[in-house]
Amino acid sequence: QVRLVETGGGSVQTGGSLTLSCTASDYDYPHGCMAWFRSAPGNKRKAIAAIDSDGHITIKDSEKGRFAISRDKSKNSLYLQISRLNSDDTGTYYCTAARVNCAMGYPYGMDFWGHGTLVTIFS
């Protein structure tokens, strides 16, 4: 059974930076997409960024400046670096993975989800 475990959340001051990590266990889909989502109270769940096994990244232009996604296939790990944090970044961040590549699976077809890690931004 695929298991995704996120770490790195916490309370961070506005303007700071943070790196979230995700380790996947028993995820045996070499061409599968991995991605980050955020959920915040009162807001719809938001897709942040995705990355294919070949390193191709899908991310909105508005997010490119502050969010950086990366993946280490040898460690079956996914990362999200967030810089210049602001209050809008507060929420629970979820690591997700799909059986298929991002073109097919992202954002609505992600098969596996972690339990999330909470990020709280304070001023």
Percent of the chain with pLDDT over 90: 89
Q: What pLDDT sits at residue 42?
A: 83
Q: Where is pLDDT greater, at 62 or 106?
A: 106
* Each residue's pLDDT tens digit, 17-58: 999 999 999 999 989 999 999 999 888 899 999 999 999 999
**CB atoms < 10 A from the CB of 58, how many?**
16
Considering the chain, what is the average pLDDT of its residues?
95
Q: pLDDT band for position 75 (50/70/90)?
A: very high
First to last CA, the chain: 40
**Number of CB atoms found within 10 A of residue 57's CB:** 16
Residue 60 has pLDDT above 90, yes or no: no
Could you tell me whether strands 117-122 and 10-13 are parallel, antiparallel, or unpaired per DSSP bridges?
A: parallel
What pLDDT sits at residue 23?
98
Q: What average pLDDT does range 62-82 have in this prediction? A: 94
pLDDT at 41: 83
CB proximity list for 12: less than 8 A, separation 6 or greater: 18, 85, 119, 120, 121, 122
